[in-house]
Structure 1
Amino acid sequence: MSDGTTVWSSESGIGALPGHIKGFGLMHVAMRRDAARLSAAAARGSSGPSGASGSAGSAAELAEWFGRLRAVIDWHHHSEDEILWPYLRDRVAGFDGGGVLEEDHEALDRSMRRVAGVLGSGLRAELPEAAKGFEDLVREHLGHEEPVVFPALAGLPVDEYLRVERRIIQSAPTQVMTYLQPWMFDGADPASVRAVSATIPAPVRLIGRTVLERRYRRTLAPVL
């Protein structure tokens, strides 16, 4: 499925990916970015006595931010397990979304539960370790997934892939749907934003870059 020269990874951005799967790639970029943000915020917050954060308010805000990230990742993984992997098994010879990818999803679920539990308990001294474990798992999982999944997606006809992508997007709960566009575009280069925006209906693009963007920016205070 690969020509031997394509690097099937979003680790250094999505410029090399075919246009129709750049949106999928941006989600992976955003996961790495926010896992790193959590680790950095955890390190800052654990610097006080007994791992205390600066205030209960900032701790609550960080927990709320992580809850949104967790919801997006949870939806992304369930949509892969329930929609995308079965589709690719039918269309791409030799594709299997089980095995290590399934194990990775389960490990990430456990890691996100641990982070959420630490944030909810107020035991901030434990957060740096939990956050670093989560970040490491995110990076490891995407390193497993992208060389397998990106070539399979790139081999689909564009219109066929976009139909599957619409099914996936339509499966998103409202909490995720209203967060997804500004979350994906946060920090993305203009060319990538233009490429992905072209697949989004114009009214949705407008709401995403106005109302939803402003709402999204307000959630970032605890990690910036």
Structure 2
Amino acid sequence: MSGNESVVWSSEQGLGGLPEHVRGFGLMHVAMRRDAARLCAAARSVRPGGARALGEWFGRLRAVIDWHHHSEDEILWPYLRGHVPGFDGSGALEQDHGALDRSMSRVAGVLTTGRIEELPEAAQEFADLVRDHLRHEERVVFPVLAALGVAEYGRVERWIIGSAPAQVMTYLQPWMFDGADAASVAAVAATIPAPVRLLGRTVLERRYRRTLAPVL
């Protein structure tokens, strides 16, 4: 990791300083924070009749986060432990994932049972956990991913994307690109096969936009 130890990268203030080959990873973090904020805003105004639609939207978000965390625990962390001397911290990150799983279960339970009076607290707990976890993860992982280089990281990223279930794959591209800066979108889009990119910008984008009604 020579030359990167003193660099502190974060997706909280945008991805401009992050190496282009890591921006797809960063965009997922930006999208998680964005949707955690959307959930908190919706929690303050949702009516009992809107809990089901909000629950359906949250279910899609939960599926993406669940896949993202499992792909880290099962693919990325083992790879880094085996190929990057001195890599550590993944145990604490896995504990973070467990806390987020429990928080997402709580939000889903509140929405399923219609106990919307509990939603603002549950949503805020989730948003706080997302914020704290991503700060921790980016501090530990971004320098390592940057140091892997374009080719090696690209191989690992393809393994990770290949592990995504269909429900996630049909949601992932428009979800990641929602509200993202043009430079980051261009950098990430260049790694996506042209037919998949076209599908993401047309059919999947329209489908994704329809899912946002409960939080917009």
- Which bin holds the TM-score, normalised by the shorter protein? over 0.9
Match of 1:69 in 2: 61
Match of 2:35 in 1: 34
Shift of 1:3: 3.7
Match of 2:26 in 1: 25
The answer (yes or no) to whether the contact 2:9–2:143 under 8 Å persists in 1 is: yes
The answer (yes or no) to whether the contact 2:4–2:147 under 8 Å persists in 1 is: no
CA distance in 2, matches of 1:125, 1:103: 28
TM-score normalised by L of structure 1: 0.93
The answer (yes or no) to whether the contact 1:85–1:97 under 8 Å persists in 2 is: no
CA distance in 1, matches of 2:93, 2:145: 16
Aligned residues: 215
Counterpart residue type for residue 28 of structure 2: M
**Which residue, 145, 167, 176 being the options, matches 1:153?**
145
CA distance in 2, matches of 1:39, 1:126: 12
User: Which blocks of at least 5 consecutive residues in structure 2 are unaligned?
Assistant: none
Counterpart residue type for residue 75 of structure 2: I
CA distance in 1, matches of 2:55, 2:108: 7
Shift of 1:102: 1.2
Q: Which moved more, 1:204-213 or 1:3-12?
A: 3-12
Match of 1:184 in 2: 176
Matched, 1:142 2:143: no
Match of 2:44 in 1: 43
Matched, 1:126 2:126: no
Query: Sequence identity, in percent?
Result: 75
CA distance in 2, matches of 1:14, 1:214: 26
Spell out, residue by residue over 1:107-146, the C-alpha distance to the aligned partner (whole angstroms, 9 max, x if none): 0000000000000000100000000000000000001100
CA distance in 2, matches of 1:3, 1:177: 32
Q: CA RMSD in A?
A: 1.1
Match of 1:106 in 2: 98
CA distance in 1, matches of 2:4, 2:89: 22
